[in-house]
Amino acid sequence: MGLLQRALDEAGLCTLSITQNMEITAIIMPSRALYVGHPFGLTFGDVGDGETQRRVLDAMLDAAATMTHRGIRDSGFEWDRDDLRYRQLRKQGC
């Protein structure tokens, strides 16, 4: 995702991405990213949780409008309903 964003940035497009891992994004360094601490495969929220999905999307739009310099913004979205993300980050589950 970060490499793709970099290519769009180089083409002169205005971009804003979600990152679910700051360490990788810090290596790739795309222009602007919003950190969301959700599990992989549940980027915008849980199945059927339309409210959270909308809030994450809204946070992307807000970041696109208000991030005036490059870097990563922490959205504050975290995952506390189970250990899925913890296991994914350690390659102990998908």
Partner 1 sequence: MLESRGANFAQIERDHVRSRVYAAFDWHPFDRFSPYTPLRVPVSEARVAFVTTAGVHLPEQPPFDTAADAGDSSWRVIPTETPLAELVLSHGGYDTRRASADPNVVLPLDHLRSFAAEGRIGALSPDTYSFMGYVADTDRLLRDEALAVAAFLLADRVDLVLLAPT
Shortest reach from residue 81's CB to partner 1, in Å: 13
Buried b (16+ CB within 10 A) or exposed e, 64-79: eeebeeeebbebebeb
Residue pair 29/45 in contact (Cβ under 8 Å)? The answer is no
Residue pair 38/20 in contact (Cβ under 8 Å)? The answer is yes
Binding site for partner 1 (CB under 8 A): 1, 3-24, 27-32, 37, 40-48, 50, 53-54, 56-58, 60-62, 64-65, 68-71, 74, 78, 85-86, 89-91, 94
By CB atoms closer than 10 A (0-12, 13-18, 19+), residue 10 is exposed
Shortest reach from residue 55's CB to partner 1, in Å: 10
Shortest reach from residue 51's CB to partner 1, in Å: 10
Shortest reach from residue 84's CB to partner 1, in Å: 9
